[in-house]
Structure 1
Amino acid sequence: MTKEWFTAAELAGLDGMPAHATNVTRKAKNKNWQHRQIAGLRGVNFEYHASSLPKETQVALGLEGLDKPVEAENSDSDMVTIQIYSAKAKTWSKARAVAHMMLPKAFLPKPLPHTEQNQLFALEMPDNTMQPTISSGEVILVSKADSKATLSTGLFLVETSTEVTIRRLKPNVAATQIKVCCDSEQYDDETLSKDDFNQSIRVIGKVIGTLIKTVV
């Protein structure tokens, strides 16, 4: 079978390609090349389909005029497309999807109904406040929050007055108070009334896990 997918490192230095892999990745993002997640590696790692590459690179690979892969049409029922957001945004309104990946459903940390699969997005953990549960840089899968749903105990992507990050929320039985927690012992927990919580914290989505594990 002809090899059709290539990593940035494999493409670096070829005709039509930058000399360094990081610049290949940047070019791929700018040109929106067809890409897929490389299974079994920590973090977000992509390989790119030859049909998206410049003509001179295709010629160098001996793959000129190659058709787009079936995955490009997202027709495979065993795959799910997930938008990847930058973790650098200080407010969620300014957050932008910087890439997307087509992920085998088997790589989701737990089975999800089809409706929730369509609500998934991903981003890198922006800080170390949730260690050891989630380390800085780990790719987190988040299901968009239902504004009508009752808040339950768990990990959530939240926006505060200063940042977008992950917090463990623990509402009391009557839901009149919510404890906002970091899993790292270096940070103190905060208990807010329901009104204060609603005024100071926006829940963006519920964390279901990283690309390789379910979080609890």
Structure 2
Amino acid sequence: MNKNNENIDLDETDTKSIESEKVSVCDESQRTVWFIASELAGLPQMPTSTRRARDELERLLKNRDHLKRKRVGTKGYEYHISILPLETQQSLGTEALEGTQEPKPSYSDLSLYKDFTEEFALIPGYRIQVSAGHGSLNPDQLEPTRHLAFRRKWLKYRGFKEKDLAIVWAKGDSMEPTIHNNDTLVVNMERKKPSDGHIYIFRNGDELFVKRYQSMLGTWRLISDNSFYSDLDIPKEEQYQFEVVGQVVHIAKDLGD
């Protein structure tokens, strides 16, 4: 595998623990100010499910990576109480409230983060599934739900600018075998002029969909790689109804369990 195009999902990347505080434990007599999503789900101002609570914690984190760390002995992450809404903090009791002041990242944490960001660019991912009718992809109006890290050397090699890239997820089987359901798609939103043979995300009304593009004497032919689906021909007089959101320049996928 070429390491130059290696990417890392920060939700699964180990981060160095902040050594100034103990790891939180379930014993009420020893509880500290770090909590995992399952401990917070259902509390005031928090979603009821663990998965949605984790998503909300990532939103509240707002790139303050020193307020998130891996819980020792598990694969999960825990979050500092200072990122939580006040009502949630209060529901955790007086022992937890004593630690609501945001901890300062140590010099070693800052040094590691600086080294990391010098080598990797953090590309924002949005809770959007193309072909699912979730509206337009406009980073100026959306909050990213996570970030994926890509080596800056790879971005330079491909001629990409960090600010032009966004990440969405595929839905459906119309582009199989090239793109499968839930594949991660890196979109270059600077490339809005379609070129034959390449894959783009298009918007028509409130629907986003991904298709391979071909020009046929002025007509746009939007091709599904899955032969079960028919091609869609867009005559020139109707093309104004379609927006080219950007070109799919990288696909990340799981190979199964």
Shorter-chain TM-score above 0.5: yes
Is structure 2 residue 75 aligned with structure 1 residue 30?
Answer: no
DSSP 3-state at the match of 2:158: coil
1:178 aligns to what? 220
**Relative to 1, partners in 2 of residues 1:24 and 1:155: Cα closer, same or farther, differing over 3 Å?**
same
Q: CA deviation at 1:75?
A: 7.4
Q: CA deviation at 1:80?
A: 1.1
Amino acid of the residue matched to residue 26 of structure 1? E
1:4 aligns to what? 17
Instruction: Specify which structure has the higher proportion of helix.
Output: 2
DSSP 3-state at the match of 2:182: coil
Amino acid of the residue matched to residue 201 of structure 1? F
2:6 aligns to what? none
Is structure 2 residue 242 aligned with structure 1 residue 201?
Answer: yes
1:54 aligns to what? 81
Amino acid of the residue matched to residue 19 of structure 1? S
Distance 1:75 1:66 in 2: 15
Is structure 2 residue 203 aligned with structure 1 residue 159?
Answer: yes
Is structure 2 residue 47 aligned with structure 1 residue 19?
Answer: no
**Relative to 1, partners in 2 of residues 1:184 and 1:212: Cα closer, same or farther, differing over 3 Å?**
closer
Distance 1:12 1:143 in 2: 43
Distance 2:181 2:25 in 1: 28
Q: CA deviation at 1:84?
A: 1.0
DSSP 3-state at the match of 1:86: strand
Amino acid of the residue matched to residue 99 of structure 1? T
Ranges in structure 2 where 5+ consecutive residues have no aligned partner: 1-14, 40-49, 66-74, 83-95
Distance 1:84 1:4 in 2: 25
Count of residues in Structure 1 that have an aligned counterpart in Structure 2: 187
DSSP 3-state at the match of 1:195: helix
**Relative to 1, partners in 2 of residues 1:102 and 1:93: Cα closer, same or farther, differing over 3 Å?**
closer
Q: CA deviation at 1:105?
A: 1.3
Please identify the structure whose Cα radius of gyration is greater.
2
Residue by residue, what CA displacement relative to the aligned partner does 1:104-148 show, whole Å, maximum 9, x if unpaired?
A: 3179699322x533311101113222111111111100001445x
- Report the identity percentage: 11
The answer (yes or no) to whether the contact 1:79–1:102 under 8 Å persists in 2 is no
Q: CA RMSD, aligned part only?
A: 4.0
Residue by residue, what CA displacement relative to the aligned partner does 1:78-106 show, whole Å, maximum 9, x if unpaired?
A: 21121112225532067723324251317
1:131 aligns to what? 176
The answer (yes or no) to whether the contact 1:125–1:139 under 8 Å persists in 2 is yes
Runs of 4+ in structure 1 displaced over 4 angstroms? 10-16, 70-75, 106-110
2:3 aligns to what? none
Ranges in structure 1 where 5+ consecutive residues have no aligned partner: 36-45
DSSP 3-state at the match of 2:60: helix
DSSP 3-state at the match of 1:111: helix
**Relative to 1, partners in 2 of residues 1:126 and 1:72: Cα closer, same or farther, differing over 3 Å?**
farther
